[in-house]
Amino acid sequence: MLSKLGRYGAAISVAIFLLYAVRAAPQNGPVTSAQPGAPMPPQQLDDLVAPIALYPDPLVGEILAASTYPIEIAEAEQWVRDHPHWKPSKLMDKAKKENWDPSVQGLVAFPDVLTRLSQDIAWTTQLGNAFLAQQADVMQAVQRMRAEAEARGTLHSTPQETVTTQNQGGQTAISIEPADPDTWYVPNYNPAYVWGPPAWGAYPPLFYPGIDVGLDWDPGIDLGLYFGGYGGWGWGGWGWAPNWYGGNVFIDHSFFHRYGFRHFHDGGPLGNSVWSHNPGTPARRAVCQSRSGGTVCGRPGWQVWCPGGPELQSRRDRASAALRNPEL
């Protein structure tokens, strides 16, 4: 949890982002988003992926898949907060029985990540839509941001994660893997600290550490407490893995079968395949409608209000209000 100083710093950071956004705008008019349905330009994608670009590779793969189910992410985040006393193994076992995509179910092991993804559902939805429409472009954006961070000296190996550069077929990719395959640490950083001002527009309006803190780490996650088993999740045993050279995400069949996700996957117990979005039944599909001042996203029995503009309203307050009043 951020200290008062950190929260104050976060507010200052947002003000700085807005100033940068104004300065970066063309002199003949404000910065505008791409037209609906049009591909996002590279610089806009760079800003979009900035909050997750320095996460470990397997977690990036899972988040990109999960972001295509933003309302399920919001539901899972609230569900985790509603069961604070459950042991990790019980939490995961119960999550696998919820009507969520396995990529969302797996994020129950990373409550701080769920909270971050739920701070601004509009951003998460935009990330998911971009990944659905421009998978290769989104993957390239992550690599561009990593390369820039490495060049600036803000990305390097630490006791928490190992950073390497790999080459395949003339392509170069920066890989970030957990230093300990069984205990993962997720960085919590301020994009302005890592990259400086955005080259286009503004970074997503999330709660970031103060610029004086820059980069910190969420508490380490012992995955054995959630999944049991032999371990090795950080060394190729996780369910989702970015395929940087192919511009997509692989899913690991053995992970799905070993840990009880088999009813979501029809393939054999070994090998891997390319991830694809499953819209599911109409009851699972999220619908977003624009209303004055923002957007209402939801599905039968659950809705959340996503205000427009850069306001940093807490996800908890939004979710609580939505649950109390489903007509929001």
Distance of alpha carbon 156 from alpha carbon 162, whole angstroms: 7
Has this prediction a pTM greater than 0.85?
no
Nearest Cα residue to 250 out of 263, 265, 230, 260: 265
**Per-residue pLDDT tens over the stretch 146-156:** 999 999 999 99
Q: What is the mean pLDDT of residues 154-176?
A: 93
Full 3-state SS string of 4-16: HHHHHHHHHHHHH
**Would you state the pLDDT for residue 76?**
95
Are 61 and 89 contacting, i.e. CB atoms less than 8 angstroms apart? no
Distance of alpha carbon 196 from alpha carbon 92, whole angstroms: 38
For 219, what's the count of Cα atoms within 13 Å in the CB-facing half-sphere? 9
Nearest Cα residue to 214 out of 235, 191, 181, 183: 191
pLDDT above 50 for 310: no
Are 252 and 237 contacting, i.e. CB atoms less than 8 angstroms apart? yes
What is the radius of gyration, based on Cα positions, of the chain? 19
**Per-residue pLDDT tens over the stretch 177-206:** 999 988 999 999 999 999 999 988 999 999
Distance of alpha carbon 169 from alpha carbon 267, whole angstroms: 29
Distance of alpha carbon 20 from alpha carbon 47, whole angstroms: 13
Please give the residue that has the higher pLDDT: either 252 or 319.
Answer: 252
Q: What is the mean pLDDT of residues 115-126?
A: 95
**Per-residue pLDDT tens over the stretch 266-289:** 566 666 777 777 776 444 444 555
Burial class (CB in 10 A: 0-12, 13-18, 19+), 188: buried
Are 70 and 103 contacting, i.e. CB atoms less than 8 angstroms apart? no
SS3 label, residue 167: strand
Domain spans, the chain? 4-26+38-274, 287-324
Full 3-state SS string of 24-61: HCCCCCCCCCCCCCCCCCHHHHHHHHCCCCCCCHHHHH
**Per-residue pLDDT tens over the stretch 74-110:** 999 999 999 999 999 999 989 988 989 999 999 999 9
Q: Which residues pair with 288 in a beta bridge?
A: 297
Residues in the chain: 328
- Measure the N-to-C terminal CA separation of the chain; round to a whole number of Å: 29
Q: Which residues pair with 175 in a beta bridge?
A: 164
Specify the long-range contacts of residues 15-20, CB closer than 8 Å, at least 24 apart. 16/192, 16/197, 16/211, 17/192, 17/197, 17/198, 17/202, 17/203, 17/205, 17/310, 18/202, 18/310, 20/192, 20/197, 20/198, 20/202
Nearest Cα residue to 176 out of 58, 297, 37, 1: 58
Which pLDDT band holds residue 18 (cuts at 50, 70, 90)? very low
Distance of alpha carbon 297 from alpha carbon 282, whole angstroms: 14
Which pLDDT band holds residue 59 (cuts at 50, 70, 90)? very high
